[in-house]
Chains A and B, each alone.
Chain A
Amino acid sequence: MMSVAKIAAIGAAAVFAALFVGWWQVDGPGADPAPGKRPMPLTSMDFSLTDQDGQEVGPETLIGHPSLVFFGFTYCPDVCPTTLSDISGWLDELGPEAEDLRTVLITVDPDRDTVETMAEYVSYFHPQIQGWTGLPDQIAAVAEDFRATYEKVEGEDGSYTMNHTAGVFLFDATGRFVSIIDYHEPREFAVPKIRRAMQDRAEGAKS
């Protein structure tokens, strides 16, 4: 026959265990990273894409350099050219300081954005900006690595547009995620963020 105290202790332990399991799954390390959350470190990513020159690229193309990565598509009339123009402006301002920075647009519209399309599109912006595309499942995989989301939205006349994560992801040279530059963030905030990511590299190199 169990004592009342023993039953109470077991009950309490069960409640704590349930709470712990709940926390682990919802907020703790076992939680599924929700879309919009921070991307993985580049060193944990495992994607493979094709750049504007037809070369195979992946996280290893970025690791070793500070990098800016963002998602978009070339049929986008507003957000994407604005982001590309903003980034071109930041790169102009940073000048030779940003020579080592890898800057990449990854398309979320692989059906229309072929290698040739990406090559033409990025050629209109700062020469440091690259354009990467891939097969639909490769794009799905890279978006998941970055915790970016995208969705096809059908228009009235058979056309379609893409909703997508619009921020610019900033990584230091070790591949660590540093911060996001929000869509249309003013230059006076964006440029210091990039400088910080580049400094992380300098410090990383020293240690």
Chain B
Amino acid sequence: MFKTFAKAFQSLSVALLMGLPLAASAQQMSEDASIVVEKPWARASLGTSRPGGAYLTVRNEGSESISLIGLRAEISGMASIHETRTNSDGVSSMAPADDIVIPPGGMIALEPGGYHAMLMQLQSPLVEGETFPLTLLFSDGTELEITVPVLGIGARGPEG
């Protein structure tokens, strides 16, 4: 009897363990399911002196336009959305982004070379294999906390 229970418990733990990385990368959504966040990931940081970068996609499943207006993260003393631009001379610059409008049914991507979550004043390093909470702030007052997995510093996308 006890053995069976232990075995069941063991397989449950295995299932939970295996499910963990999946849970972190699967979609995360607002309570009414109108805002869906997918493929969050961040690069591991070198200590805390340099800003970290994180990426994700946001889908608007609602019937109204919403804007992503900012970020909040305990791990960062100053989190904001930045945009990288490369001009015709091939010079890249980076600046805080304006509010990003997502039309109903639309999607925006924070991805390398475009928008990114800029995590300045890191309170602790972003360590590969760990996760951290990041809150997305929207124009309708929605605050959506998501879990961001930290990938290697050489990661190229949500798959590593």
Known: A79-B84, A124-B153. A35 touches B51 (CB 8 A): no
B18 proximity list for chain A (CB < 8 A): none
Cβ–Cβ contact A77 & B53, under 8 A = yes
Q: Which of A52-82 contact B (CB under 8 A)?
A: 74-79, 81-82
Which residue of A79, A153, A159, A161 is within 8 Å of B113 (Cβ)?
A: A79
| Residue A120, interface by CB 8 Å | yes
Cβ–Cβ contact B78 & A157, under 8 A = yes
A166 proximity list for chain B (CB < 8 A): 86, 90-92
Interface magnitude class on chain A:
20 to 34
- CB closest chain-A residue, reference B112: A82
| Residue A167, interface by CB 8 Å | yes
Cβ–Cβ contact A77 & B52, under 8 A = yes
Shortest beta-carbon distance from A186 to chain B in Å = 12
Cβ–Cβ contact A74 & B89, under 8 A = no
Cβ–Cβ contact B156 & A74, under 8 A = no
Q: Complex: how many Å from CA A180 to CA B90?
A: 10
Give the total of B residues in contact with A, Cβ under 8 Å.
30
Cβ–Cβ contact B116 & A81, under 8 A = no
Known: A161-B94, A164-B91, A184-B113. A78 touches B156 (CB 8 A): no
Cβ–Cβ contact B156 & A183, under 8 A = no
Cβ–Cβ contact B53 & A78, under 8 A = yes
9 additional A-B pairs beyond A75-B49, A82-B113, A124-B153, beta carbons within 8 Å, are: A35-B89, A36-B88, A77-B50, A77-B53, A81-B154, A153-B93, A157-B120, A163-B91, A164-B92
Across the A-B interface, the 6 shortest Cβ-Cβ residue pairs: A36-B89, A77-B53, A166-B92, A163-B93, A82-B112, A167-B90
Binding site for B on A (CB under 8 A): 35-36, 74-79, 81-82, 84-86, 88-89, 120-121, 124-125, 149, 153, 157, 159, 161, 163-167, 180, 182-184
